[in-house]
Amino acid sequence: MHHARETIRKAGYRLTPQRVAVWEAVRRGGRHRTAEEIAADVQQTLPEVNVSTVYRTLELLVGLELVQETRLAGVATYYEVAPAPVHHHFVCEGCGTVGHLDDGLLEPVRRELLDADGFLVSEARMTVFGLCRDCRGRAAATPD
């Protein structure tokens, strides 16, 4: 559980089997996952764990900055292991695929805000919506 085990204990929380299972499900997922997907994964090994336990555990892990919660308007809330570098998201409106954008893409915006308005950005979150290559291809192949 790399540093997660230590972080949970240092924060004064017990390292329960449910917390370990939720953390492992998020970590294994390797992508953005909903609480329901995480719960289904956890229930394969701990069938007695309900979705509300998963939500509470995710809330704890988010609060401890071990997991990142991404709320995408009109789509869903996703969870992933908190990344070291800040990143942003793009979402396909056709199939719901979520991907990452590098924080460096916002550097010109930060520079412009600082130079033009004296505004120093401390945090930025960006989500871009559109169609992925596959959905664009399907849309182009569909006759009107």
Q: What's domain 1-82's architecture?
A: Orthogonal Bundle (1.10)
Q: What's domain 83-144's architecture?
A: 2-Layer Sandwich (3.30)
User: Would the pTM count as exceeding 0.85?
Assistant: no
Q: What is the pLDDT of residues 39-57, one digit of tens each?
A: 999 999 999 999 999 999 9
How far apart (Å, rounded) are the C-alpha atoms in residues 15 and 84?
23
pLDDT at 1: 46
- CB contact at 8 A, 95 and 135: yes
Residues 6+ apart with CB under 8 A from 17: 46
Burial 22-51 (b: 16+ CB within 10 A, else e): bbbbbeebeebbebebbbebbbeeeeebee
Q: What is the pLDDT of residues 2-32, one digit of tens each?
A: 578 888 988 999 999 999 999 999 988 777 8
- CB contact at 8 A, 51 and 39: yes
The residue ranges of every structural domain in the chain are 1-82, 83-144
The mean of the pLDDT values for the chain is 87
